[in-house]
A and B are shown apart, each in its own frame.
Chain A
Amino acid sequence: MITTVTLNPAIDREYFVDNNEVMKNQFIYNEKDLKVYPGGKGLISAVNFKALGYHDVQNIGFVGGKQGLFFEKMVQKYDIISNYIHTEKEIRNNVKIIGRNPATYTQYNDYTYQVSTEEVQELVNRFQRSISESDCILISGSIPEGVHFDIYQRLIRIAKTKDKGVFLQGSGEALKLALAAKPDIVTPYFKHHQTILDLEMDTKKDYIKAGHKMQELGAKYVMIPFHCDRLLFDKNGDVYQLSPQEYCIINWLGASDAYNTAFLDYIFQHDFDFFEANLRGAAAALWVAENKKIYLSARENFNCCLDRLKIKKLEV
């Protein structure tokens, strides 16, 4: 079984309109102009794993209220095993308005979801007993209000006690605290903070410094997004740069989740090879970014991007 964790799920709603204007009523009559789907980084990876043919994939996290029940129904349509703590408060709705002419993109991100201390403890208990069958746990995404920043650290410690591999994609204080639990693979995201471990990210040197710092604090392997490239830190602390060639990016949504999925997929299918796994991850992310897709389909689709990827060692 593969376990993915989504603590801050959302119902994503996309509305496509001809011209998105303030103070103008819009009418949507065509169903292709309205998309509603379950969102959350761990969940997108779970959908990807199912698409790649894995039988048992569970998504653990919180859902809340009537909208949480709706969210869970949507998840179950993908044949993912839902494993949610049902909270009292309603989960989030993210609204995206996409205008065609002129091309505009307006996003309303909802960060109102709250969970209680008891609900957090219930999640930890549920996590502890539900990972028995999993060899690897993928933890990714933000955390809702009410959850202490040490949540990832707690979950990773439980996973490590049970001898499970952990892949973490986190940010901010939660990432910083999680490193003490020694996750195997760490990739930070920093769209909200523009910092990693409180370090400002500007030059390539800053990124390298942050990568090494994460390893000092406990991460075995680190991958840091660096514009459209990735900086890879192997377990010896050597640094490599993975770069795509001749690409045209039209979509970011789902790219990093595709990366995480294809990286782990390679490891599940072969022996552990940090660079080969990263190449598969990058190929999957590139395929998503160039094809306006959110989810992966077959391996063959993204493997065709492999020959446009290069890894070079950096002299540090």
Chain B
Amino acid sequence: MSKVKDYMIRTMNSITPKDSIKKAIEIMYRSEQSVLPVVDEHNRFIGTIYSNNILKNIIPESFGFLDSSRLFYEVNEAVENLKEVKAEPIEIYMSENRDAVEEDSDMKKVADIMLNNKESLLFVINEAGYLRGFIERSNLLHFLLDEADNSDLTADSK
């Protein structure tokens, strides 16, 4: 049985609920991760901050349905909105979901969660709830490719 720990990315890149929106954005662009795990003061996973959580709160609802001149205006408005909220703690914007998987979980469970919930990334924790890293769709595809190659080998040996 293939486990999450065989395919995951091990990293504790994270943020806490009291950290600011500005810090979250800086960590996101420097580490090239548009989703960050939110942890408590002991590094236990408590939620997720998506770049979309932030964008939704600074870009007017009508964004995306406008002509280009209106879009420019809306972007400027988003900049102004971001000035207002950048010092706010991310606890206001984070998702307090606990859809994390454990290192020893079966990779088939990850496939199930990702495909059913349309999650592109899941955070990985140990059995005590401490952050260990994440697993994303490319890792899932890697697992599926290994499964496909193994089943080819099994078929050939028959």
- A interface with B by C-beta (< 8 Å): 56, 58, 69, 72, 76, 79-84, 86-88, 122, 125-126, 128-130, 132-133
How distant is the Cα of A76 from the Cα of B11 in the complex, in angstroms?
8
B23 to chain A, nearest CB (A): 8
Partner of A132, one of B16, B32, B43: B43
How distant is the Cα of A87 from the Cα of B27 in the complex, in angstroms?
9
Closest Cβ neighbor of A57 among chain B residues: B10
Evaluate whether A76 and B16 lie within 8 angstroms (CB atoms) in the complex, with A88-B30, A130-B43, A132-B43 already known: no
B95 to chain A, nearest CB (A): 20
- B9 at interface (Cβ–Cβ under 8 A)? yes
Partner of A82, one of B12, B126, B128: B12
Q: Is the CB of A83 within 8 A of B130?
A: no
Q: Is the CB of B16 within 8 A of A83?
A: no
Partner of B41, one of A69, A86, A129: A129
Task: Annotate B9-51 by CB proximity to A: 1 below 8 A, 0 otherwise.
Answer: 1111110100000010001001110000001111100000000
Evaluate whether A83 and B12 lie within 8 angstroms (CB atoms) in the complex, with A129-B43, A132-B43, A132-B130 already known: yes
Partner of A83, one of B11, B32, B126: B11
Q: Is the CB of A86 within 8 A of B43?
A: no
Top 4 closest pairs, chain A to chain B, by CB: A86-B30, A83-B12, A132-B42, A81-B10
How distant is the Cα of A69 from the Cα of B29 in the complex, in angstroms?
11
How distant is the Cα of A86 from the Cα of B130 in the complex, in angstroms?
21
CB neighbours (8 Å) of B132 from chain A are 56, 81
How distant is the Cα of A88 from the Cα of B16 in the complex, in angstroms?
21
CB neighbours (8 Å) of B40 from chain A are 129
A246 to chain B, nearest CB (A): 41
List 10 interface pairs A-B (beta carbons < 8 Å), by A numbering.
Answer: A79-B10, A86-B31, A126-B12, A126-B14, A128-B41, A129-B40, A129-B42, A129-B43, A132-B43, A133-B43
Closest Cβ neighbor of A131 among chain B residues: B43
Beyond A88-B30, A122-B23, 15 additional contacts (C-beta under 8 Å) are: A56-B126, A58-B12, A69-B31, A76-B9, A76-B11, A81-B133, A83-B11, A83-B12, A83-B13, A86-B27, A86-B30, A87-B30, A125-B16, A130-B43, A133-B43
How distant is the Cα of A83 from the Cα of B133 in the complex, in angstroms?
10
Partner of B39, one of A122, A129, A133: A129
Partner of A76, one of B10, B31, B41: B10
B28 to chain A, nearest CB (A): 10
CB neighbours (8 Å) of B10 from chain A are 76, 79-82
Closest Cβ neighbor of A125 among chain B residues: B16
B106 to chain A, nearest CB (A): 19
Q: Is the CB of B43 within 8 A of A82?
A: no
Q: Is the CB of B13 within 8 A of A84?
A: yes
Q: Is the CB of B130 within 8 A of A133?
A: yes
CB neighbours (8 Å) of B30 from chain A are 86-88
Closest Cβ neighbor of A60 among chain B residues: B12
CB neighbours (8 Å) of B9 from chain A are 76
